[in-house]
Structure 1
Amino acid sequence: MAIHRDFSWENFSVDFLSAVVYHDATPEEYRPLHKTTDKVILVASMNMIADQPDYSFVRTYREEIERFILDRNPEMAKTVLKRVMHVRWSLNPRVAILELHEAPVSQSLLDSYCIALLDVGTGDVKLDYYSTYRIPLSIDMRKTIYNDVLLYDFQQQAVKALNEKINVDGPAAGLLVMPTGSGKTRTATYFLLRDMISQGYQVIWLTHRHMLVDQAADAFCNAYPLIKKNKPTAKKFSMICVSGQHSSIRKAEKTDDVIIVSVQSGFRSLEYIEPVLARKVIVVIDEAHHAVARSYQRVVDFIRRKRRKMKLLGLTATPIRSTDRGSKRLLELFNENIIYSIPMSKLISKKILADPHFERVETAVNFEPQINVNEAKLIKRFGELPATLIDRVAKSAKRNKVIIDTYMKKREQYGKTLIFALNIEHCYTLCKDLQKKGVKCDYIYSGREDNDRIIKEFKSGELDVLVNINILTEGSDVPKIQTVFLTRPTQSEGLLVQMIGRGLRGPKAQGTATANIVDFCDKWETFNKWLNPEFIIPSVAGEEKERKNKKTDLIRFPLEAIGAIYHGITYVGDSSMRSLMSLPCGWYVCKTDNGDKDILVFEEQQDGYHAMVQMLKTQDDSVFETDVDTLMNRFFGGFVMPPYYHDLEIFYEHWKATNTIPKYHEFEERDEIDAVALAKNMITENVGVADIQKYVQDVYDKHSSIIESIYGDFGIYFKRVVDYLMDGGQPNHSTLAIEPMPMENIPFDSTPYYDLQELYQEVCRERFGGTYEGIESITWTERAYTSFYGKYYIGGRIRINCLLNSKDVPREVVKYVIYHEMLHRDNWRHDKVFREKEHEYPDYVKWDRFLDNTLGKFDFTL
């Protein structure tokens, strides 16, 4: 555990200090000569007992910690127990204290007690802001009973597809494409736990941000009993999270079922990955559209070289890059295999995603006169604003006033609001302007140290508005966002859908029924393609057919899954400060060669669809000679939000093939048959068990067409209602209290064993040709510590922790520590040059792993 410079025993009560100093386990030489309550003297004794709390301190003085600190701070005790048992529900503080008294010693308990003491000792009680997964987790499954996890029907279909395409003999690769808010992580972890880990596969989960590590870990922790489905004899579940904010890859083991790694940590520690790889490995890349980056490819290629039959699974909502070339590379990495995808319109119809309410706000600010030649070239080449122009847009006081005024005018309607800003200065400016208006607001950006704390405050409702720069575009789970402000122009489909997706968590996913998507538009003439769907979805039939003939048509295929939600954002005209709004009001169910397809209909499009349907119903011979372009121009030519071209094509093909108009469903009709709502009604009406099937059958008979469109046949619908009945009318999103594996400490012989001078001379001969100038002395410490292994002092004095002076510590480990400290003669910092020199020591990975992992498992009393 790292040394905290701000830590001091002075921040503790005299009662606690006295209890520790005069404890039977405290050596006599560390106690004052005469019994005292003088805090200065007690603190001096405490500094001899321990520089700061560590695992040994907690083991020795656990009873005193509970009695004088946790018992007197029930809220802290509650937080500690939540960390130890990984529960999320509310706890009675007094019950938490009793539970802690009875809890067996585990690594998570020792770690949580240390953190609590550190928080008191630094005068800043902030235990909630530490990751629950800072240390490796080992769960005792011997008493665990298999408990299925409730999945939506589309998630079940995805799991089935994963088993067909990934859970096969030999290597396999593919993408799972599911829109933001649809439960990609939940679906993937269900498959991995039940169908892969249970078969002996080790999961290497790669993600690009440390804050997404906890989200994945939560998903595994919530559902680990699924392993028992196919492996009823499973005894434990082991997981480690690796990042700068979590554990070290050196603490990982081959027996770990799940290793969640930030790609930066994996990229920098490839040599430490090899020793921990199990025989069967599946690599999962979260937010897989980043997988073309060099860091990801280095890690994946390294693991594939070591495990030829490695499986590769990518999770993403946007399987496209900013260029066709980048998209092609991405799909090639996953063998051009899209295992499963589902369109947003389908999930909106199921209430998994919220109904989007688009609002366009024109700022009347024109930046084009300020664009220089170089900036214009960059815009044309990359399709994005260059940094210099972003800076000018961000500094526009007039534009920022429009953003602030828009929020203040509809503050109550907008509710919890997430703002995507242009740069750090824009973040800061918007936040401060809102705070001046009395709005509870904060901002985050990549590199700010307290991002995690601020995000948690936003989640908990302490903040009404959060301003960020793309940090919350991917993965971060913030439910019940009611409004998203888009303040930056972009031509990136992926970035756009990720931003919009943050507000689309629907009521069945603990989100909102509707979502406000507020888009701020400036005056552009030459560069007028920002967020325009005509440049995302081809609008000419010939272009679409030509693209389908190319081998790379897979690049555009996933747009069906992401295009529906933002096809309504467009820019027409330059009138100042006016809003154009349109809300989805229903959908058509069309027959295609690949099954039923849902087409979302917005309010503004209703008149066009109605007129087109009336024309098609005429059965006039001339109707059969028309085409999609004619229909688009004739019925939607003057619309600000024309239908998605591909949707209209599907509609027309249905009509031509069946000579019938597709079935149309109103969203109000959907609400009548919603399985969750029906379950709640049955609970409210106290429907008896014997009457459940008839109750559901009556609803089905009345609305069979729409029910089959959304759920499938009666059997599937009935099971869904019953599932929700069993969970009190709510989808099952429970979090289990876990039982950590009891610690089995290895006996440790503390009898002095090594001649330190002899070891030092061996290092000099083997690594430095026999001599090494500048080392004045090398000695053992007088007592053992768990906070360091060795120290180099100015003048060439080296102290080696006497804890290592044991026959249970390999000889080469002690020599490796000596070598490390000798290198500090020329370099105080652990920089790249230092590490390169350090890694010249033979088998350094093995010795690092012993120091960081095995040593901590010994049972020694300091």
Structure 2
Amino acid sequence: VASFEDVWRSHPAGNQPLLLARFWGGYRQGLDRQELADRLETEAPVLVLVSTPQSFIGESREDWLDPATIVIDEAHRAAAPTYRSIIDRHGEQSAIIGLTATPYRREFDRRNPQAGTEALQALFQRLIVAESLGQEAGERLQRLQEMGVLSVPISRTVPTGITLKVGEPPPEGEIQQQFSFDQELQQQADQTRRRRIVLEELLRILDEEPMARVLYFGPSVLDAELVAFMLRYKGKRAAAVSGTTRTATRRAMIADFKTGRLDVLCNCEVLTTGFDAPTVSHVVMARPTISQVLYEQMVGRGLRGPEFGGTPHCHIVDFEDRYRARRPILGYEQFRHVWIPLEEEPQQDAKSMGLLVQLGSGDVSRYGRNEHQVAACRSRPVVRDLEVPVVVSLEGSERGLLQVTAWDPERRENRHSRRYELNMKQPMLRTRLEVPSGCELLLQATTSDPRGHIEIRRYDPRLGDRP
């Protein structure tokens, strides 16, 4: 309702009166349809009826005026039977418009994973994207960020050291198996040791940034409630919402979060869609998933830009676990390759990244592999001796090798070179990168699995392994 009001007022034709009617929950009983029809003739040329599909199912068509347009939010769900029954009944002469950030649907049909997307295509017929935003997804994303419509995500990974005992990741396209694997991930991540690490990270954020507004996604409802309880015990303003939370209570909690009376709002999957709190500054993702769609829906709650009352940047914190079997490709990795492209590697795809480096306080830099499957980067010559404490970690592979070299360009020789081997038993180590004055730092990384990479992040020795 608020969105319709805002858009109507901002449009050149918005000086005409608009009649907005609510039709869900308790609003249904107080709605007089004849009164609406009379007001439409005498007061306003346009009527917008806002409803949920469940509220509208079973309504007699004869009692309503034929709609000129049906607008469906979260339109990737529009091929579901609930929506189709309304469209078939009320939309014979209507324009059907869908709004979604994910214009595809993955149904749990092993025989035809594309069936849902094909049904959407048959319903909407064409996909409309503003030409001024560019032809490619990356161009559109960058343009929307420049316009302030979307905020720029700043992603960070926190290693947990916890091993999740899940089976082999399912093959791509096996939708039901992927769903089951995601449930396994949730169950394994819901443990006390891991929760303690997550809590420490949340407390660090709140202590270092007192104005932070944190949206937390946990692996279970119990986890969300426990984290909220422990934060309150530590003197922080936090609450948890779930599917069993009373509607009035949930509405009050969300209002408190939006207005700043709560610093952290915890949930499991309740706030993935249909929830809008533009002032979210941090999204903490303790719920692991291999679904890029689900991940994007969750972190998308924090990506409203300043033009929509949001923030220019949103910090996204992911937690990296170990795996007993082959490591899956997680949703946050797929998300980062779309949302955080490198200027150095504009054509890089998810399979080519081999090296991730963050030695300062700036953005993370990612480097792709060459034809020999080696990822490399080189710094400028330093003006004085440097000694940088770093955490080196192996991600997504059973074995990895990092070569660190201090190269003297004037003498054209190596001042020193070190070699670090990583494996499943020792996937992470702490060391110091030493660079003599006038030398360049050369980093070369390779992994046994082409989908894996090596991360190098600076850390403060006083804080342990935290970057």
TM range (shorter): 0.5 to 0.7
Task: State the shift of 1:275 in Å.
Answer: 1.9
Q: How far, CA to CA, are the matches of 1:328 and 1:527 in structure 2?
A: 32
Give yes or no for contact 1:458–1:465 (8 Å, CA) kept in 2.
yes
**Pair 1:462–1:243, CA change in 2 (3 A):** same
Tell me, yes or no, if the aligned pair for 2:168 and 2:325 is still in contact at 8 Å: no
1:697-708 equivalent positions in 2, closer than 5 A:
none
2:264 paired residue number: 465
**Offset from partner CA, 1:818-843 (integer Å, 9 cap, x none):** xxxxxxxxxxxxxxxxxxxxxxxxxx
Gaps of 5+ in 2: 41-45, 107-112, 134-139, 343-348, 379-391, 396-467
- Structure 1 residue 430 and structure 2 residue 214: aligned? no
CA 299–584 in structure 1, closer or farther in 2 if over 3 Å, else same = farther
How far apart in 2 are the matches of 1:632 and 1:352?
40
Shift of 1:477: 2.1
1:484 matches 2:273? no
Matched, 1:564 2:353: no
Q: Match of 1:270?
A: 59
Note if contact 2:318-2:332 (Cα within 8 Å) is conserved in structure 1.
Answer: no
The answer on whether the counterparts of 1:379 and 1:385 sit within 8 Å (CA) in structure 2 is no
Query: In structure 2, what residue type is equivalent to 1:241?
Result: R
TM-score computed with the length of structure 1 as normaliser: 0.36
Post-superposition offset of 1:464: 0.5
1:288/1:315 contact within 8 Å kept: yes
Identity of matched residues, % = 23
Residues 647-666 of structure 1: pairs in structure 2 closer than 5 A: none
Alpha-carbon offset, residue 243 of structure 1: 0.9
Q: Are residues 427 and 340 of structure 1, via their aligned partners in 2, closer, same or farther at CA, if it must alter by over 3 Å?
A: same
1:283 maps onto 2:70 in alignment: yes
SS of aligned partner of 2:25: coil
Match of 1:214 in 2: none
Measured in 1, the distance between the counterparts of 2:161 and 2:337 equals: 27
Deviation by residue 1:292-315 (Cα, 9 ceiling, x = unmatched): 2211111111112xxx32100000
- 8 Å CA contact retained: 1:441, 1:466: yes
- Three-state SS of the structure 2 residue aligned to 1:410 is helix
Give distance in 2, aligned partners of 1:473 and 1:526.
29
Please name the residue that 1:825 is paired with.
Answer: none
CA deviation after TM superposition for structure 1 residue 382, in Å: 2.4
1:300 partnered with 2:87: yes
Partners of 1:249 and 1:501 lie apart in 2 by 34
1:241–1:261: 8 Å Cα contact kept in structure 2? yes
Structure 2 vs 1, CA of residues 523 and 228 (structure 1 numbering), >3 Å: closer, same or farther? closer
Task: State the secondary structure of the residue aligned to 2:325.
Answer: coil
Between the aligned partners of 1:631 and 1:347, the Cα distance in structure 2 is 34
Amino acid at match of 2:338: A
Q: Identify the residue that residue 32 of structure 2 maps to in structure 1.
A: 251
Among 448, 454, 458, the residue aligned to 2:245: 448
Distance verdict in 2 for CA 1:391–1:633, change over 3 Å = closer
Indicate if the aligned counterparts of 1:358 and 1:582 stay in contact, CA closer than 8 A.
no
Q: Tell which deviates more after alignment, 282-291 or 420-429.
A: 420-429
Q: 1:514 to 1:226 in 2, by over 3 A?
A: closer
| 1:418 correspondence with 2:179 | no
**1:598: which partner in 2?**
none
8 A Cα contact 2:295 2:332, kept in partner: no
- Aligned amino acid, residue 52 of structure 2: S
CA distance in 2, matches of 1:318, 1:636: 34
Whether the 8 Å CA contact 2:148–2:307 is kept in 1: the answer is yes
Q: CA deviation at 1:351?
A: 3.4
Alpha-carbon separation, structure 2, partners of 1:570 and 1:363: 23
Provide the residue aligned with 2:178 in structure 1: 382
Shift of 1:584: 12
* Distance change (3 Å), C-alpha of 1:315 and 1:284: same
The amino acid across from 2:302 in the alignment is G
Instruction: Determine which of 321, 334, 342 is the counterpart of 2:124.
Output: 334
Contact map agreement 1:419 1:467 (CA 8 A) in 2 = yes
Q: Which residue in 1 is equivalent to 2:93?
A: 309
Distance in 1 separating the partners of 2:105 and 2:259:
33
- The answer (yes or no) to whether the contact 1:242–1:260 under 8 Å persists in 2 is yes
- 1:604 alignment counterpart: 365
Cα deviation for residue 603 of structure 1 reads 4.2
Structure 2 residue 24 is matched with structure 1 residue 240: no
State whether residues 354 and 507 of structure 1, in contact with CA within 8 Å, keep that contact through their aligned partners in structure 2.
Answer: yes
- C-alpha separation in 1, matches of 2:48 and 2:55: 16
* 8 Å contact kept, 2:153–2:340: no
Counterpart of 2:318 (choices 519, 523, 533) is 519
Native 8 Å contact 2:268 2:287 kept in 1: no
Pair 1:393 & 2:189 matched: yes
What letter is aligned with 1:261? S
Residues 357, 364 of structure 2: 8 Å contact kept: no
- Which of 180, 189, 204 aligns to 1:409? It is 204
Amino acid at match of 1:565: W
Residue among 296, 313, 318 paired with 2:102: 318
CA distance in 1, matches of 2:351, 2:201: 18
The ranges of structure 1 where at least 4 consecutive aligned residues each deviate by more than 4 angstroms after the TM superposition are 223-228, 371-374, 386-389, 566-572, 579-585, 629-642
SS in 2 for 1:312: strand
What does the per-residue CA deviation read over 1:513-556, in whole Å, with 9 as the maximum and x for residues that have no partner? 3211100122125352242578x59xxxxxxxxxxxxxxxxxxx
Q: Structure 1 residues 321 and 633, CA, compared in 2 at 3 Å: closer, same or farther?
A: farther
What is residue 100 of structure 1 aligned with on the other side?
Answer: none
- Asked if residue 529 in structure 1 is aligned to residue 328 in structure 2, the reply is yes
Match of 1:218 in 2: 2
String of CA shifts for 1:140-179, please: whole Å, max 9, x gaps: xxxxxxxxxxxxxxxxxxxxxxxxxxxxxxxxxxxxxxxx
Matching residue's letter, 2:116? G
**Residue 691 of structure 1: aligned partner:** none
Distance 1:498 1:226, change over 3 A: closer
- TM-superposed CA distance for 1:454, in Å, is 0.4
Distance in 1, matches of 2:244 and 2:200, equals: 29
Does the C-alpha gap of structure 1 residues 293 and 447 become closer, same or farther in structure 2, counting only changes over 3 Å? Answer: farther
RMSD: 4.1
For residue 463 of structure 1, what is the amino acid of its counterpart? Answer: L
The answer to whether the 8 Å contact 2:105/2:114 transfers is yes
- Residue identity in the other structure for 1:289: H
- 1:479-529 deviation line (CA, Å, top 9, x unaligned): 221110111111222211122222222333322232111001221253522
Distance 1:494 1:366 in 2: 25
**Shift in Å, 1:637:** 9.7
Residue identity opposite 1:398 in structure 2 = R
State the one-letter code of the partner of 2:56. Answer: G
1: distance between equivalents of 2:117 and 2:376?
31
SS at match of 1:257: strand
CA gap of 1:227–1:350, structure 2 versus 1, over 3 A, is closer
Structure 1 distance, partners of 2:148, 2:23, is 35
* 1:117-196 equivalent positions in 2, closer than 5 A: none
After superposition, residues 348-363 of structure 1 pair within 5 angstroms as 348-363=145-160
Deviation at 1:229, TM superposition (A): 3.0
Summarize the Cα distance change of 1:603–1:399 in structure 2 as closer, same or farther, 3 Å threshold: closer
Structure showing the higher strand proportion among its residues: 2
